[in-house]
Structure 1
Amino acid sequence: MTAYIIRRLFMGVIIILIVSMMIFLFMRLLPGDPLVVYVSRSDMTDLSGEQMDKLRQKFGLDKPMPMQYVNWVAGIFRGDLGTSLYYDEDVGRLISERLPITMYLGFLAFILSGIIGISFGVICA
């Protein structure tokens, strides 16, 4: 039984690692440059190449993708989810602001689906 639990935990870690790599890869392979999105949403429309390079360095976009992934995972373990390029705010704070409402809606959906499911089950039986 212990070997089974260890094997399952090991497989869980591998699956989490693979899924995190896929998420990171898919986000980086989206068309367009994340820095261009950031600049277009802010008031910095006329930036020189040097200023763009400084922003790339600030966000770590100047590093190779494997290094960006390692930095991303290390930041997650430290609790630093980064800065949203869309809102220009801390991602952890954005999540913590929206989490209570999301949990409330999920709980209501769970209760409502249970009531409807049990009702239809009784009717169909």
Structure 2
Amino acid sequence: MLIFKQIIKNQKKNINQITLNKLFLKKIYQLDYIKMIQFQLRKLNNQFRKTVFIFHQHMIQQIHFNQIFQNIIIKIIIIVLIIVLWNFLRVLNIIILLINLYVDILIYNMNVNLIVKSNQHQLVEKIEIEQE
């Protein structure tokens, strides 16, 4: 009977040991699972960092492109303004020349009128002298 009790006691002890082993294995599996999750998180973190770096590089390129584009637009606007100003000055010059021509024509007409009046006056004097 004592042997039987000893066997039962050993079996209980074995069952307890098996239960402890199962719990221990379960904890090991949980640790492995946690390590796997940590690995996946590190992997995702690295991918995120790469993505952020690529996005940052893209933003720098976009800013650089925008600056180049703005410089080109500013140069085009300056060129167009210079052309418009040049044409405006040409038109203004033509208007000034036309005004000068008009003034010259007026002066010429006034001179002609003065000469004609002077000639008429002289002619009238001649006629008066001849009539006397």
Is TM-score (shorter-chain normalized) higher than 0.5?
A: no
For normalisation by structure 1, the TM-score amounts to: 0.26
For normalisation by structure 2, the TM-score amounts to: 0.25
More helix by share: 2
